[in-house]
Amino acid sequence: MTSEGGNLLPTAVRAISDDAVPGVSSTNGHVDHAIQTNSPGSRMTYSRVIGALFLVGFLFYGVGAALVTSVTGGPDFLATISAHQTTLVIGAFLMLLNTVVDVGKGVLFFPILENHGKRSALAYLAFIVVQVVLLDIGVVGLLMIAPLGHLAVDAGQGTAPWAQPLGSLLVQWNNMAYAIGEATLGVGGLFLCALLYRSRLVPRFLAVGGFIGYVTLMVGMVAEIFGIHIGLMLSVPGIFFEVGLPLWLFIKGFEPEAYGGRAEAVTTVRPALAIS
């Protein structure tokens, strides 16, 4: 009895100290990672980095696609590919950079989302990876246009009947890969928005807006796959979400209570175990 009573007060003091100052180590050297990352500075840093990745990925792929389209949008683009090869390659490179950005976004989001649903968090990350792989497959087709154009010119058949249709096929290859990849993103986005809605990491109106945006994105991309060109129009609600969410994260960040939910639970349980 004397031994237990002698250890009770120091243990309680350590527990209160750790609970009052998130991230402070206990005297036995054990520091809980969840408590460390629950500080306001860490929360806002994570929020802003994830928000920045949403915007940077959107910018990289959008600018890259615009550059590529400026080259491949003409009726006889293979005949002039030598003059515009640099523009094509830079555009494709920017589209490939989106891979790093999107995967980084998914990886950073995962430890936050898994606190509220590990399976859904894993599903979102998996769909992100599948999406970027599909987009990259499309970009590989675009990069093949440059050597195809050079091959046709070297053969003295810059406007040969076989060259332009093959170039157009590579452009359609990218369009199809993009449509399938974005439809995949739409499925993953449903898992993301369901977690955001349930956890209240962000206001629920944002999660509902994202849910609507990803559903319309999926419908539009499936329509594009079947030759019904309404994908751009139906992508607009999703664009609002993928711009609105980062802006919210920059200004407000994730909701503190939801962001630190797991840390609070660990802090509550650990002193109780120490006292017992």
pLDDT digits (tens, 9 = 90+) for 134-156: 999 999 999 999 888 888 777 66
pLDDT digits (tens, 9 = 90+) for 25-69: 333 444 344 434 455 568 899 899 999 999 999 999 999 999 999
> Is pLDDT of 1 > 80?
no
Closest CA to 61 of 132, 141, 145: 132
How buried is 240 (Cβ within 10 angstroms: 0-12 exposed, 13-18 middle, 19+ buried)?
middle
pLDDT digits (tens, 9 = 90+) for 162-206: 778 888 999 999 999 999 999 999 999 999 999 999 999 999 999
Q: What is the percentage of the chain residues whose pLDDT exceeds 90?
A: 62
Q: What is the pLDDT of residue 99?
A: 95
Closest CA to 60 of 18, 92, 25, 12: 92
Q: What is the pLDDT of residue 152?
A: 75
Q: What is the pLDDT of residue 258?
A: 85
Q: What's the mean pLDDT in 111-136? A: 95
Q: What's the mean pLDDT in 80-106? A: 93
How much is the mean pLDDT over the chain? 81
